[in-house]
Structure 1
Amino acid sequence: MPQLHLKHLHVAIEKKSILTIEQMSLACGKIYGIVGPSGSGKSTLLRVVNLLQKPLTGTMNYWGEEVDLASLSHAKALAIQRQMAFVAQQPVMFHTSVFDNVAMGLRYRKLDRKTIRERVSEALQLVDLADRIHQQAATLSGGEAQRVALARAIVLNPRLLLLDEPTASLDPANVSIFEQVIKGIHQQRGTTIMIVTHNLPQAKRLADHCLFVHKGRIVESADTSTFFDQPQSQELADFISGRMIY
């Protein structure tokens, strides 16, 4: 089965170790929930995979393409990044219409106008914002803006979708829509998804497999039911139960 594989990864900032992963493999077409305390290295992991942050050492095999993350050139990084999409916790909207926000990545890829129009319309329908297509993005509510950010990601048909606490500031209605879209594109397109979340019930609902990151290391990795029902480490057991961990 095709995999994304990280090896000998080490990230440090000003000599402080942030993330160390000897080996990590993700199978194609699964949803991975990444949980752990704040400051444990979860978001750093996503940024490294998305080639937004260079580690001191580490290699990534991106489904057959081996890259040295520490010495990766901008041109090669861009070619791999265009196979991914990233949704951050706080949506950033361009000062244009909703349509133009969602279409921007497709225009950079030089798709024709008809294809762009069709794909943007489909993406906005998926996130239940088809009626806002001509609205200025700056006038949207926070939840609507985050759904536009999701549409902007999924319109690219990414091989890998990276989500960093995407629903942390959303109300239950927007969370429900967001999760439905994630499930839908996973089922229909087989998109591989990594989602960082502090919402443990969300990880249970969405993920096929979960990873527990603590103090910059992957402490535990298992299928979701085993992860929550039979934690192997005391740290994960404490984290799941809501006890403070150090």
Structure 2
Amino acid sequence: MAEAQLTDRAETDPRVSCPIVCGEHMRASGVFFDGTEETYLVTARHNVLPTNGADLKTNEYDLSFASQDFLPTIHVYLRTSSGVEVERFDIREIPGVRQTAEIDVIAVPIDFEPEEYGYQVWDADDVAAPAESPESLDIIGFNGECFPDPDRDYEVDAYRHALRNPVVLPLVNELADDDDPSRYGLTAFAIDENLTDSYDGLSGAPVLGDGLVGIHAANIPVPEKHIEQSGGDEFRLMVYWRAVILPKLVE
């Protein structure tokens, strides 16, 4: 079995995503997206709400997982020129949260301006389809190594001062030039050939090509028989939700 490789870390935070902590427990990633009337923080639904893979719109593909966590409070960490500021909110207190049990994505209206911190705010014009994207994609997000040791008690100030730059995870676009991507429902797939030390925290991170291609949801170990069929090199299957769902979710 191949040894996991160290993940490349951005020398400068490109601010296309941000680190978040849900319920003082779930370390994750998020992106900002403009709807018709609101700007939203978007992340994986399972970071916040109980989510059953069997209910998701994945067509013939089975995402056999179930999250029971209810973590409605979210801390959003925003890098500034002098440090890190933190926005906190509770989705139970915010009208207009957009989510459905059929999609592992949640969009929460926010009352701050991410652009003032230098963050990318994506919109419908930035959305790119996997089949029309390049053969190489990137996930840029905050994996477990970006956060303080999870065994430490959660403290905002500790996280504020200890957060590291996001990782840049290069992927092979499995759906480039795919004639029938609909067989996977609203999900899509890419391959990580390098194998990182830690995928924890990447849920909710953007998958980028020529624009915003998707929102990362899960990584799946590939059965040995498939590895043998592909030539014996170990790899990890990365599952993400197509970004095309975002304008529809927040309209």
| Fold match by TM threshold 0.5 | no
TM-score, length basis structure 2 = 0.24
- Return the index of the structure with the highest Cα Rg: 1
Quick check: which one's helix share is greater? 1
Quick check: which one's strand share is greater? 2
TM-score, length basis structure 1 = 0.25
